[in-house]
Amino acid sequence: MILTDKRILEEINKGSIVIEPFDRKYLGSNSYDVHLADTLAIYKDDILDARKHNELEYIRMHDHDGFLLLPGRLYLGVTQEYTETHTFVPFLEGKSSIGRLGIDIHSTAGKGDVGYCNTWTLEISVKQPVRIYPGMPIGQLIYFEIGGEVLVPYNRKRTAKYNKRTKRPVESMMWKNFNSRLIGSK
């Protein structure tokens, strides 16, 4: 079941959902709009390796110029909003206005976990050149009820790779899966 605007407000008041900064005008009937922060990132190398730590180059966008996204390139963005979800499963979806510009904000990672506490890194790609700006609405958070008790929330998992609080986009940490597998096999 998806939470309604009334229920999202109730859960914010209880502290089971945290959105910072929160502005009531961005609360939809059953979602909350999140906004693009001023930092983007691109990988330094053209060829990425899932077993290695791929380094990022950070780009600061400016309000008046924005930044031109080009097809054939992966950009990592980040939400302005820091969120915490302690008893619900958060989903980040693109806004229809963004989709109609040919912008995808995530290819595979729309679902969060109970216990996710951070900003949201966006995996941005475009169909044709598009200029974007910091502060623009970029997606919407939808909250789903869960059935049953969670044994270990994401923010308490020893193996969680994206717990470090940040205001910048975070690169793939897939390489940690390979390193932990290798360490565990010795």
**pLDDT digits over 84-117, tens only?**
999 999 999 999 999 999 999 987 777 888 999 9
- The domain total for the chain is 1
pLDDT band at 43 (very low <50, low <70, confident <90, very high): very high
pLDDT band at 181 (very low <50, low <70, confident <90, very high): low
Please tell me the number of Cα atoms within 13 Å of 55 on its side-chain side.
3
For residues 160-168, give the mean pLDDT. 80
The chain-wide mean pLDDT, for the chain, equals: 90
Burial 7-32 (b: 16+ CB within 10 A, else e): bbbebbeeeebebeeeeeebbeeebb
pLDDT of residue 1: 94
pLDDT at residue 60 tops 80: yes
Question: Domain range for residue 66?
Answer: 5-184
pLDDT at residue 47 tops 70: yes
Q: Percent of the chain at pLDDT above 90?
A: 72
* CATH for 73: 2.70.40.10
In which order are the strands placed within the sheet that holds 103-104? 56-60, 39-43, 75-78, 121-126, 103-104
How far does Cα 117 stand from its chain's mean position?
A: 11
Triad 27, 33, 39: Cα angle to 5°: 145
Residue 166, judged by CB atoms within 10 A of its CB (0-12, 13-18, 19+), counts as middle
Active-site residues, by number, are 123
